[in-house]
Structure 1
Amino acid sequence: MMNYNNPEEIESLLYAMYLTETGSSYTFNVFQRAIMDKTFTKQMVSELERITRVMSQFQKKQEKADVGNTDVSPETIASIVSTLIMAGLDAHYALNEMELCDLPLYIEAYEKKRREEMESARMWTYLTILPHIDVRKMKNGAKDLIIFPWEEVEKEAEKEINETEVECFENLLKQGKNIFKS
Protein backbone atom coordinates (compact mmCIF):
# COMPACT_ATOMS: atom_id res chain seq x y z
CA MET A 1 0.00 0.00 0.00
CA MET A 2 1.23 3.46 -0.80
CA ASN A 3 0.88 6.39 1.56
CA TYR A 4 0.27 9.46 -0.60
CA ASN A 5 0.93 11.73 2.39
CA ASN A 6 4.52 10.47 2.64
CA PRO A 7 6.81 12.65 0.46
CA GLU A 8 9.45 9.89 0.20
CA GLU A 9 6.93 7.48 -1.29
CA ILE A 10 5.72 10.13 -3.75
CA GLU A 11 9.33 10.77 -4.79
CA SER A 12 9.85 7.05 -5.36
CA LEU A 13 6.67 6.84 -7.43
CA LEU A 14 7.64 9.86 -9.54
CA TYR A 15 11.15 8.43 -10.01
CA ALA A 16 9.77 5.07 -11.20
CA MET A 17 7.36 6.89 -13.50
CA TYR A 18 10.20 9.05 -14.89
CA LEU A 19 12.43 6.03 -15.54
CA THR A 20 9.62 4.19 -17.27
CA GLU A 21 8.63 7.14 -19.43
CA THR A 22 12.08 8.40 -20.46
CA GLY A 23 14.23 5.28 -20.19
CA SER A 24 17.01 7.38 -18.67
CA SER A 25 19.54 6.02 -16.20
CA TYR A 26 19.67 8.84 -13.65
CA THR A 27 20.20 7.74 -10.08
CA PHE A 28 17.59 8.43 -7.43
CA ASN A 29 19.85 11.05 -5.81
CA VAL A 30 20.14 12.99 -9.08
CA PHE A 31 16.37 12.76 -9.52
CA GLN A 32 15.79 14.07 -5.98
CA ARG A 33 17.83 17.16 -6.83
CA ALA A 34 15.93 17.58 -10.10
CA ILE A 35 12.52 17.58 -8.42
CA MET A 36 13.55 20.55 -6.31
CA ASP A 37 12.67 22.53 -9.45
CA LYS A 38 8.99 23.34 -8.90
CA THR A 39 8.19 23.52 -12.63
CA PHE A 40 9.59 20.03 -13.22
CA THR A 41 7.74 18.66 -10.18
CA LYS A 42 4.47 20.28 -11.21
CA GLN A 43 4.78 18.74 -14.67
CA MET A 44 5.46 15.29 -13.17
CA VAL A 45 2.51 15.55 -10.77
CA SER A 46 0.12 16.66 -13.54
CA GLU A 47 1.28 13.70 -15.67
CA LEU A 48 0.67 11.36 -12.72
CA GLU A 49 -2.83 12.82 -12.28
CA ARG A 50 -3.55 12.32 -15.98
CA ILE A 51 -2.41 8.69 -15.85
CA THR A 52 -4.47 8.09 -12.71
CA ARG A 53 -7.59 9.54 -14.34
CA VAL A 54 -7.14 7.32 -17.40
CA MET A 55 -6.56 4.20 -15.32
CA SER A 56 -9.48 4.93 -13.00
CA GLN A 57 -11.86 4.30 -15.91
CA PHE A 58 -10.91 0.65 -15.85
CA GLN A 59 -11.02 0.11 -12.09
CA LYS A 60 -14.00 -1.28 -10.31
CA LYS A 61 -15.56 0.94 -7.69
CA GLN A 62 -14.79 -0.23 -4.19
CA GLU A 63 -17.77 -0.77 -1.96
CA LYS A 64 -17.86 1.13 1.32
CA ALA A 65 -17.72 -2.11 3.30
CA ASP A 66 -14.41 -3.03 1.64
CA VAL A 67 -12.69 0.26 2.41
CA GLY A 68 -12.61 -0.14 6.17
CA ASN A 69 -12.04 -3.87 6.18
CA THR A 70 -8.99 -4.54 8.33
CA ASP A 71 -9.55 -8.27 8.81
CA VAL A 72 -7.67 -9.22 5.66
CA SER A 73 -4.29 -7.85 4.66
CA PRO A 74 -4.31 -6.24 1.21
CA GLU A 75 -3.07 -8.24 -1.74
CA THR A 76 0.08 -7.11 -3.47
CA ILE A 77 0.43 -6.94 -7.22
CA ALA A 78 3.23 -9.51 -6.99
CA SER A 79 0.98 -12.09 -5.32
CA ILE A 80 -1.89 -11.39 -7.72
CA VAL A 81 0.32 -11.69 -10.80
CA SER A 82 1.99 -14.86 -9.51
CA THR A 83 -1.44 -16.40 -8.88
CA LEU A 84 -2.52 -15.50 -12.41
CA ILE A 85 0.68 -16.98 -13.85
CA MET A 86 0.18 -20.21 -11.90
CA ALA A 87 -3.40 -20.30 -13.24
CA GLY A 88 -2.08 -20.28 -16.80
CA LEU A 89 -1.51 -16.65 -17.80
CA ASP A 90 1.62 -16.26 -19.94
CA ALA A 91 4.46 -15.21 -17.60
CA HIS A 92 6.20 -13.03 -20.19
CA TYR A 93 2.99 -11.13 -20.86
CA ALA A 94 2.13 -10.79 -17.17
CA LEU A 95 5.57 -9.56 -16.13
CA ASN A 96 6.58 -7.44 -19.11
CA GLU A 97 3.62 -6.34 -21.18
CA MET A 98 0.47 -6.33 -19.06
CA GLU A 99 -0.82 -2.97 -17.84
CA LEU A 100 -2.23 -2.38 -14.38
CA CYS A 101 -5.65 -1.64 -15.84
CA ASP A 102 -5.70 -5.20 -17.27
CA LEU A 103 -5.46 -6.82 -13.82
CA PRO A 104 -9.17 -6.57 -12.90
CA LEU A 105 -10.14 -8.31 -16.14
CA TYR A 106 -7.80 -11.24 -15.52
CA ILE A 107 -8.73 -11.45 -11.84
CA GLU A 108 -12.42 -11.60 -12.70
CA ALA A 109 -11.78 -14.32 -15.31
CA TYR A 110 -9.66 -16.27 -12.82
CA GLU A 111 -12.35 -16.06 -10.13
CA LYS A 112 -15.03 -17.16 -12.60
CA LYS A 113 -12.90 -20.12 -13.66
CA ARG A 114 -12.29 -21.12 -10.01
CA ARG A 115 -16.00 -20.91 -9.21
CA GLU A 116 -16.87 -23.11 -12.17
CA GLU A 117 -14.20 -25.64 -11.15
CA MET A 118 -15.46 -25.74 -7.57
CA GLU A 119 -19.09 -26.08 -8.66
CA SER A 120 -18.11 -28.85 -11.07
CA ALA A 121 -16.20 -30.68 -8.32
CA ARG A 122 -19.25 -30.40 -6.04
CA MET A 123 -21.53 -31.78 -8.77
CA TRP A 124 -19.22 -34.74 -9.47
CA THR A 125 -18.96 -35.45 -5.74
CA TYR A 126 -22.75 -35.39 -5.50
CA LEU A 127 -23.10 -37.73 -8.48
CA THR A 128 -20.48 -40.07 -7.00
CA ILE A 129 -22.22 -40.38 -3.63
CA LEU A 130 -25.73 -40.41 -5.11
CA PRO A 131 -26.13 -44.23 -5.04
CA HIS A 132 -25.16 -44.27 -1.35
CA ILE A 133 -27.48 -41.58 0.04
CA ASP A 134 -31.19 -40.93 0.44
CA VAL A 135 -31.85 -38.31 -2.25
CA ARG A 136 -35.23 -37.34 -0.74
CA LYS A 137 -33.42 -35.78 2.24
CA MET A 138 -31.39 -33.50 -0.03
CA LYS A 139 -33.89 -30.82 -1.05
CA ASN A 140 -31.37 -28.66 -2.93
CA GLY A 141 -29.38 -31.42 -4.59
CA ALA A 142 -25.64 -30.81 -4.73
CA LYS A 143 -26.01 -27.49 -2.88
CA ASP A 144 -26.82 -29.47 0.27
CA LEU A 145 -23.26 -30.78 0.28
CA ILE A 146 -21.66 -27.34 0.52
CA ILE A 147 -22.85 -23.80 -0.11
CA PHE A 148 -20.18 -21.49 -1.50
CA PRO A 149 -19.84 -17.89 -0.25
CA TRP A 150 -21.01 -16.40 -3.55
CA GLU A 151 -24.14 -18.54 -3.39
CA GLU A 152 -24.90 -17.28 0.12
CA VAL A 153 -24.70 -13.70 -1.15
CA GLU A 154 -27.03 -14.57 -4.05
CA LYS A 155 -29.39 -16.32 -1.63
CA GLU A 156 -29.53 -13.25 0.65
CA ALA A 157 -30.17 -10.94 -2.32
CA GLU A 158 -32.95 -13.20 -3.58
CA LYS A 159 -34.49 -13.35 -0.09
CA GLU A 160 -34.40 -9.55 0.15
CA ILE A 161 -36.07 -9.18 -3.25
CA ASN A 162 -38.78 -11.67 -2.30
CA GLU A 163 -39.47 -9.82 0.97
CA THR A 164 -39.78 -6.53 -0.92
CA GLU A 165 -42.18 -8.08 -3.42
CA VAL A 166 -44.32 -9.53 -0.61
CA GLU A 167 -44.47 -6.10 1.08
CA CYS A 168 -45.53 -4.43 -2.19
CA PHE A 169 -48.21 -7.07 -2.76
CA GLU A 170 -49.52 -6.71 0.81
CA ASN A 171 -49.68 -2.91 0.39
CA LEU A 172 -51.60 -3.39 -2.83
CA LEU A 173 -54.09 -5.69 -1.11
CA LYS A 174 -54.52 -3.26 1.81
CA GLN A 175 -55.14 -0.26 -0.43
CA GLY A 176 -57.28 -2.19 -2.88
CA LYS A 177 -59.07 -0.07 -5.43
CA ASN A 178 -58.04 3.16 -3.65
CA ILE A 179 -54.55 2.94 -5.10
CA PHE A 180 -55.81 3.87 -8.57
CA LYS A 181 -58.04 6.80 -7.49
CA SER A 182 -55.26 9.38 -7.10
Structure 2
Amino acid sequence: MFFEETWLDIVARAAILSLIGVAWVTALIRLIGLRTLSKMTNFDFVVTIASGSLLAGAVQASEWTAFAQALLATGGLFGVQYLVARIRRNSEAFEEAIQNGPIMLMYNGQIVEGALDISRVAESDLFAKLREANVLELSQVRAVVLETTGDISVLHGDTLEDRIIEGIDRP
Protein backbone atom coordinates (compact mmCIF):
# COMPACT_ATOMS: atom_id res chain seq x y z
CA MET A 1 0.00 0.00 0.00
CA PHE A 2 2.73 2.46 0.97
CA PHE A 3 6.20 0.92 0.55
CA GLU A 4 7.84 -1.92 -1.35
CA GLU A 5 9.76 -3.04 1.75
CA THR A 6 7.40 -5.41 3.63
CA TRP A 7 8.29 -4.48 7.21
CA LEU A 8 8.17 -0.75 6.41
CA ASP A 9 4.80 -1.14 4.69
CA ILE A 10 3.37 -3.02 7.70
CA VAL A 11 4.51 -0.32 10.12
CA ALA A 12 3.22 2.47 7.87
CA ARG A 13 -0.13 0.73 7.36
CA ALA A 14 -0.57 0.16 11.08
CA ALA A 15 0.19 3.77 11.95
CA ILE A 16 -1.54 5.54 9.08
CA LEU A 17 -4.68 3.39 8.85
CA SER A 18 -5.12 3.46 12.63
CA LEU A 19 -4.86 7.23 12.65
CA ILE A 20 -7.34 7.63 9.80
CA GLY A 21 -9.73 5.03 11.27
CA VAL A 22 -9.78 6.56 14.74
CA ALA A 23 -10.17 10.05 13.27
CA TRP A 24 -13.10 8.81 11.15
CA VAL A 25 -14.88 7.19 14.10
CA THR A 26 -14.25 10.28 16.26
CA ALA A 27 -15.70 12.51 13.54
CA LEU A 28 -18.79 10.28 13.26
CA ILE A 29 -19.31 10.36 17.03
CA ARG A 30 -18.99 14.16 17.04
CA LEU A 31 -21.46 14.39 14.15
CA ILE A 32 -24.05 11.89 15.35
CA GLY A 33 -23.58 12.26 19.11
CA LEU A 34 -22.37 10.36 22.14
CA ARG A 35 -25.31 7.98 21.96
CA THR A 36 -23.29 6.22 19.28
CA LEU A 37 -21.25 4.54 22.04
CA SER A 38 -24.04 4.07 24.53
CA LYS A 39 -25.63 0.84 25.52
CA MET A 40 -29.04 2.31 26.19
CA THR A 41 -30.69 -0.41 24.09
CA ASN A 42 -29.70 -3.80 22.77
CA PHE A 43 -29.45 -2.20 19.31
CA ASP A 44 -26.98 0.42 20.61
CA PHE A 45 -24.90 -2.33 22.16
CA VAL A 46 -24.75 -4.27 18.87
CA VAL A 47 -23.72 -1.13 16.98
CA THR A 48 -20.94 -0.43 19.49
CA ILE A 49 -19.55 -3.95 19.17
CA ALA A 50 -19.88 -3.98 15.38
CA SER A 51 -18.19 -0.59 15.01
CA GLY A 52 -15.21 -1.83 17.02
CA SER A 53 -14.97 -4.86 14.79
CA LEU A 54 -15.18 -2.72 11.65
CA LEU A 55 -12.49 -0.36 12.95
CA ALA A 56 -10.24 -3.35 13.63
CA GLY A 57 -10.86 -4.56 10.09
CA ALA A 58 -10.09 -1.14 8.68
CA VAL A 59 -6.72 -0.82 10.40
CA GLN A 60 -5.76 -4.32 9.26
CA ALA A 61 -6.75 -3.75 5.62
CA SER A 62 -4.18 -4.58 2.99
CA GLU A 63 -6.07 -2.87 0.16
CA TRP A 64 -7.65 0.55 -0.12
CA THR A 65 -11.03 -0.93 -1.12
CA ALA A 66 -11.22 -3.02 2.07
CA PHE A 67 -10.21 0.02 4.14
CA ALA A 68 -12.83 2.23 2.49
CA GLN A 69 -15.51 -0.44 2.82
CA ALA A 70 -14.89 -0.79 6.58
CA LEU A 71 -15.01 2.98 7.12
CA LEU A 72 -18.16 3.36 5.03
CA ALA A 73 -19.79 0.44 6.84
CA THR A 74 -19.02 2.13 10.16
CA GLY A 75 -20.66 5.31 8.90
CA GLY A 76 -23.63 3.27 7.71
CA LEU A 77 -24.02 1.59 11.10
CA PHE A 78 -23.93 4.91 12.92
CA GLY A 79 -26.42 6.35 10.43
CA VAL A 80 -28.84 3.46 10.95
CA GLN A 81 -28.46 3.82 14.71
CA TYR A 82 -29.29 7.53 14.41
CA LEU A 83 -32.43 6.77 12.36
CA VAL A 84 -33.58 4.02 14.72
CA ALA A 85 -33.15 6.35 17.72
CA ARG A 86 -35.21 9.05 15.97
CA ILE A 87 -37.98 6.61 15.05
CA ARG A 88 -38.03 5.14 18.58
CA ARG A 89 -38.63 8.59 20.05
CA ASN A 90 -41.71 9.08 17.88
CA SER A 91 -43.21 5.59 17.66
CA GLU A 92 -44.19 3.58 20.70
CA ALA A 93 -45.11 0.61 18.47
CA PHE A 94 -41.64 0.61 16.89
CA GLU A 95 -40.08 0.89 20.35
CA GLU A 96 -41.98 -2.17 21.56
CA ALA A 97 -41.12 -4.14 18.42
CA ILE A 98 -37.33 -3.77 18.72
CA GLN A 99 -36.77 -3.37 22.45
CA ASN A 100 -37.11 -5.73 25.39
CA GLY A 101 -38.76 -4.19 28.41
CA PRO A 102 -37.24 -3.97 31.88
CA ILE A 103 -38.16 -6.72 34.35
CA MET A 104 -38.81 -6.32 38.08
CA LEU A 105 -36.62 -8.83 39.96
CA MET A 106 -37.51 -7.60 43.45
CA TYR A 107 -40.29 -5.40 44.76
CA ASN A 108 -40.65 -4.06 48.30
CA GLY A 109 -38.10 -6.46 49.76
CA GLN A 110 -39.59 -9.54 48.07
CA ILE A 111 -37.84 -11.52 45.33
CA VAL A 112 -40.01 -12.05 42.26
CA GLU A 113 -39.20 -15.70 41.57
CA GLY A 114 -41.02 -15.78 38.25
CA ALA A 115 -38.92 -12.86 37.02
CA LEU A 116 -35.70 -14.65 38.00
CA ASP A 117 -36.85 -17.68 36.01
CA ILE A 118 -37.86 -15.68 32.93
CA SER A 119 -34.70 -13.56 32.92
CA ARG A 120 -32.40 -16.45 33.87
CA VAL A 121 -30.85 -14.39 36.68
CA ALA A 122 -29.51 -16.52 39.52
CA GLU A 123 -30.42 -15.52 43.05
CA SER A 124 -26.69 -15.39 43.84
CA ASP A 125 -26.22 -12.77 41.09
CA LEU A 126 -29.12 -10.77 42.50
CA PHE A 127 -27.54 -10.83 45.97
CA ALA A 128 -24.20 -9.77 44.48
CA LYS A 129 -25.90 -6.71 42.97
CA LEU A 130 -27.57 -5.94 46.30
CA ARG A 131 -24.21 -6.06 48.06
CA GLU A 132 -22.68 -3.88 45.33
CA ALA A 133 -25.45 -1.32 46.02
CA ASN A 134 -24.67 -1.42 49.77
CA VAL A 135 -28.01 -2.95 50.71
CA LEU A 136 -27.89 -4.11 54.32
CA GLU A 137 -31.41 -5.52 54.65
CA LEU A 138 -33.83 -6.89 52.07
CA SER A 139 -36.57 -4.78 53.64
CA GLN A 140 -34.66 -1.66 52.47
CA VAL A 141 -35.04 -2.69 48.83
CA ARG A 142 -37.88 -0.93 47.04
CA ALA A 143 -37.14 -2.47 43.62
CA VAL A 144 -34.49 -4.31 41.66
CA VAL A 145 -34.85 -3.97 37.90
CA LEU A 146 -33.16 -5.87 35.09
CA GLU A 147 -32.85 -3.01 32.60
CA THR A 148 -33.13 -3.27 28.83
CA THR A 149 -29.34 -2.92 28.63
CA GLY A 150 -28.75 -5.96 30.83
CA ASP A 151 -27.71 -3.78 33.78
CA ILE A 152 -29.38 -4.32 37.13
CA SER A 153 -30.65 -1.26 39.00
CA VAL A 154 -31.11 -1.47 42.75
CA LEU A 155 -33.50 1.09 44.23
CA HIS A 156 -33.46 1.26 47.99
CA GLY A 157 -34.53 3.76 50.59
CA ASP A 158 -37.62 4.79 52.49
CA THR A 159 -39.95 5.47 49.57
CA LEU A 160 -40.23 4.92 45.84
CA GLU A 161 -42.24 7.08 43.47
CA ASP A 162 -44.47 5.01 41.20
CA ARG A 163 -43.36 7.01 38.16
CA ILE A 164 -39.81 5.60 38.44
CA ILE A 165 -41.01 2.01 37.99
CA GLU A 166 -43.87 2.75 35.60
CA GLY A 167 -44.03 0.32 32.68
CA ILE A 168 -41.75 -2.33 34.18
CA ASP A 169 -42.87 -5.94 33.63
CA ARG A 170 -43.76 -7.74 36.86
CA PRO A 171 -44.14 -11.45 36.05
Name which structure has the greater RCO, CA cutoff 8 Å, separation 6+. 2
Bigger fraction of residues in strand: 2
With the shorter chain as reference, the TM-score category is: under 0.3
Q: Higher Cα Rg: structure 1 or 2?
A: 1
- What's the TM-score once normalised by structure 1's chain length? 0.26
Select the structure that is richer in helix.
Answer: 1
TM-score, normalised with respect to structure 2? 0.28
